[in-house]
Chain A
Amino acid sequence: EVQLVESGGGLVKPGGSLRLSCAASGFTFSSYSMNWVRQAPGAGLEWVSSISSVSTYINYADSVKGRFTISRDNAKNSLYLQLNSLRADDTAVYYCARDISDLDYWGQGTLVTVSS
């Protein structure tokens, strides 16, 4: 069974940093691109970032470029998102999802709240 489990969310002050993790199981992690998608309270889904299977290709939404960094460790079946220079409008549930084209499996999400 494919499972994606996010962790690392929490309350952080504006300008602060946070590192999100996504632990994957039930599939060959190193064969798939992975993504972060977020959803602000009461708002729609926003694609945030993607990383190809062996980290060759990395892309970001314009709203987070230069502040967020995606990475992965295929030996640990894990995906990461480093969030720096956080702003109030980064407050959202952050989901990890498999495969840029399909987003066929999602985690349950982890909540990031940016507030003073």
Chain B
Amino acid sequence: SYELTQPSSVSVSPGQTARITCSGDIVAKKYVRWFQQKPGQAPVVVIYKDSERPSGIPERFSGSISGTTVTLTISGAQVEDESDYYCYSAADNRGVFGGGTKLTVL
């Protein structure tokens, strides 16, 4: 079965660029999407198909891919971006999440 590996935490000051990585063999084969989850809420997609941004998501959110690693970049992170972030992919009708990254902006 596939696995996705994320750092457990990332910390930046407001206005700095935050980068969260997600690595795994499935990244080179299938699209990855990124979810933002705030406490007590369902996850919300912020990036899909590795680098596409849904409507309504701020332009400071972007995604990129290199080999078996995708990266979520938040350029000029805001305090309101402080959340848990999860990468996700699926193959053969089986889904897999990364372990999640707690982003702290302070």
Query: A residues touching B (Cβ–Cβ < 8 Å)?
Result: 33, 35, 37, 44-47, 50, 52, 57, 59, 61-62, 95, 100-104, 106-109
SS of B interface (majority): strand
Within 8 Å of chain A (Cβ to Cβ): is B61? no
Give the bracket for the number of chain B residues in contact with chain A: 20 to 34
Chain A: interface secondary structure? loop
Chain B, range 51-106, C-beta contacts under 8 Å to A: 84, 86, 88, 90, 92-100
Known: A59-B93, A100-B95. 5 other contacts (CB 8 A): A45-B35, A57-B93, A59-B92, A59-B94, A103-B33
Residue of B with least CB distance to A51: B93
A104 with B45: CB separation less than 8 A:
yes
Contact status A47-B35, CB under 8 Å: no
B100 touches A44 (CB 8 A): yes
- Asked if B43 is at the interface (CB within 8 A of a chain A CB), the reply is yes
Q: How far is the CA of A47 from the CA of B88 in the complex (A)?
A: 9
A95-B31 contact, Cβ under 8 Å, with A44-B97, A45-B97, A50-B95: no
A selection of 14 A-B contacts at a CB cut-off of 8 Å is A33-B93, A37-B95, A44-B86, A44-B100, A45-B88, A47-B90, A47-B94, A47-B96, A47-B97, A100-B90, A103-B33, A103-B88, A106-B42, A109-B42
Residues of B whose CB lies within 8 Å of any CB of A are 1, 30-31, 33, 35, 37, 42-43, 45, 48, 84, 86, 88, 90, 92-100
The answer for the CA separation of A50 and B92 in the assembled complex, in Å, is 10
Q: Looking at the assembled complex, report how far the CB atom of B38 sits from the nearest CB atom of chain A, in whole angstroms.
A: 13
Q: Is the CB of B42 within 8 A of A95?
A: yes
B100 engages A103 (CB within 8 Å) = no
Docked Cα-Cα span, A104 to B88, in Å, equals 12
Rounded to whole angstroms, the CA-CA distance of A39 and B100 in the bound complex is 11
Nearest first, the 7 closest Cβ-Cβ pairs linking A and B are A47-B95, A44-B100, A106-B42, A45-B97, A59-B93, A57-B93, A59-B94
Asked if A103 and B95 make an inter-chain contact with CB atoms under 8 angstroms apart, the answer reads yes
